[in-house]
Amino acid sequence: MHGPPCPIQSCAMAETGEEETVSTEASGFSDLSDSEFLEFLDLEDAQESSASLSKSGPSTEPPGKDDKPVSLQNWKRGLDVSSPMERFHLKYLYVTDLSTQNWCELQTAYGKELPGFLVPEKAAVLDTGASIHLARELELHDLVTIPITTKEDAWAIKFLNILSMIPTLQSGGRIREFPVFGEVEGVLLVGVIDELHYTAKGELELAELKTRRHPVLPLEAQKKKDCFQVSLYKYIFDAMVQGKVTPASLIHHTKLCPEKPLGPSVLRHAQQGGFSVKSLGDLMELVFLSLTLSDLPVIDILKIEYIHQETATVLGTETVTFEEKEVRGKVQHYMAYWMGHREPQGVDVEEAWKCRTCNYADICEWRKGGGVLSSTLKPQAKKPK
Ligand code: SF4
């Protein structure tokens, strides 16, 4: 009899030339809690950031470095033909993509187009935030790192983690970093729930941890974005446990190959966990069966906890009321942009204060145009099919 396996994280190996894909795809789930990405937009942090120096990447001579506007030629060219999903080569979106869209859609679009724009201060915030998340996770269990060489292995790891967490949740335990995914309005949406546990009354509660650089609560606009984020988690998690997410839809969007045999390290870990599987397809079936047959409840309560990074003091907690209709309406509106059915929008006039702290303020065509995209940038919206 085997005990539940420790949660695992992937580490990409440079064997097949696919490692870049793997690490990119894996990062949405395990390498970094996607909730951390929201800190990039944290207003108070942004206020302290000098303009655009770049954290990441080899090609990162940061655009706009000398306060010169960035040429958006590439963007313009791409806009002529395809939807943002196609143009940015996206197979799926992260929950945080939609919650940042809730802050400013154009900023999210710039983030995809110019990923090297991250300022160093924000990178530091991200690192510290990720450490706090990791420390919390390690309170509950050890983490095992598994080398992987294919994107199928990267997804297999997410599935093994789900399989290891379901029994804990079933028996009333607490779990952290639970991967969620599901098709929403024709697009696959993925994310990671920080924590799920039961209250004294037996209700299933989602707890989202937000680390703050300064010991103050965020502004209402930031809270609104956080509320939308946790509402999306519930939206997807509930669909998963209700059997509305299917392997076929996942394969369709991710272009994963279910027949591909799993790598030796992943197989070994699966066997240690008592799972008799050979391919990703086997594992997928097992996950979908477990999710639907385990009789897991839907999420009853959504809670956000704001914590000061340095002192770990709890600054406050928000309880979010889930408004399904409103969430669905927003998702439909946001997905219309990603599917190329409408052009991206910047902030409304009354929220122009957001531009003051935006990394893209110097190059933003919306801001320059006083609330419209200039004709040269204007994407050609595809007609809905
Ligand atoms: Fe959005 Fe303003 Fe930034 Fe433009 S400058 S991307 S409108 S927040």
Which of 357, 358, 359, 373 best tests ligand 1's pocket when mutated (most atoms within 8 Å of CB)? Answer: 358
Q: Is the CB of 339 under 6 A from ligand 1?
A: no
Q: Residue 331: CB within 6 Å of ligand 1? A: no
For residues 206 and 195, is the Cβ–Cβ distance under 8 A?
A: yes
Residue whose CA lies nearest to ligand 1 atom number 2 = 355
- Tell me how far the alpha carbon of residue 358 lies from the centroid of ligand 1, in angstroms: 6
Cβ of 111 closer than 6 Å to ligand 1, yes or no, is no
Give the containing element (helix H, strand E) for 367. helix 365-368
Q: Can you tell me which atom of ligand 1 is nearest the CA of 361?
A: 5
Give the tens place of pLDDT for each residue, 163-183: 999 999 999 999 999 999 999
Going by alpha carbons, the residue nearest to atom 6 of ligand 1 is: 107
Q: Is 364 in the pocket of ligand 1 (CB under 6 A)?
A: yes
Question: What's the pLDDT at 148?
Answer: 77
Answer whether 122 contacts ligand 1 (Cβ < 6 A): no
**Is 239 a pocket residue for ligand 1 (Cβ < 6 Å)?**
no
The answer to whether the beta carbons of residues 307 and 209 sit under 8 Å apart is: yes
142 and 5 in contact (C-beta within 8 Å)?
no
The rounded Å distance from CA 198 to ligand 1 centre is: 40
Higher pLDDT, 185 or 23: 185
pLDDT-based confidence at residue 129 (cuts at 50, 70, 90): low
Q: Pseudo-torsion of CA 5, 10, 13, 17, nearest 10°?
A: 130
User: What distance in angstroms lies between residue 117's CA and the mean position of ligand 1's atoms?
Assistant: 14
- Does residue 72 surpass a pLDDT of 50? no
**pLDDT, mean over the chain:** 78
Decide if pLDDT at 45 tops 80: no
CB atoms within 10 A of CB 153: 25
Does 112 score more than 50 pLDDT?
A: yes
Residue with tokens 């530091």: 124
Supply the DSSP string of 351-363, one letter for each residue: GGGGGGG-TTTTT
Is the minimum distance from the CB of 355 to ligand 1 under 6 angstroms?
A: yes
At 338 the pLDDT is 96
Given a contact cutoff of 8 angstroms between Cβ atoms, the answer to whether 12 and 23 are in contact is yes
Residue to substitute in 107, 348, 362, 363 for testing ligand 1 pocket (most ligand atoms within 8 angstroms of CB):
107
Q: Does 104 contact ligand 1 (Cβ within 6 A)? A: yes
pTM metric for this prediction: 0.77
Best probe residue, ligand 1, of 114, 360, 373 (max atoms within 8 Å of C-beta): 360
Tokens, residue 192: 């990671």
pLDDT digits (tens, 9 = 90+) for 207-262: 999 999 899 999 999 999 999 999 999 999 999 999 999 999 999 999 999 999 89
Q: Can you tell me the mean pLDDT for 348-369?
A: 90
**Ligand 1 centroid – CA 239 distance (Å):** 33
Return the residue whose CA atom lies nearest to atom 4 of ligand 1.
Answer: 364
Is residue 109 lining ligand 1, measured as CB closer than 6 Å? Answer: no
User: 373 versus 105: which is more confidently predicted?
Assistant: 105
In short, whether 235's Cβ falls inside 6 Å of ligand 1 is: no
Residue 36 banded pLDDT, cuts 50, 70, 90: very low
Reported as a pLDDT band with limits 50, 70 and 90, residue 114 is confident
List pLDDT tens digits, range 182-201.
999 999 999 999 999 999 99
| Confidence tier at 17 by pLDDT (50, 70, 90) | very low
Top pLDDT among 174 and 77 is at 174
| CB 106 near ligand 1, within 6 Å | yes
Please identify which residue in the block is written with the tokens 């951390």: 36
The atom number, within ligand 1, closest to the CA of 107 reads 6
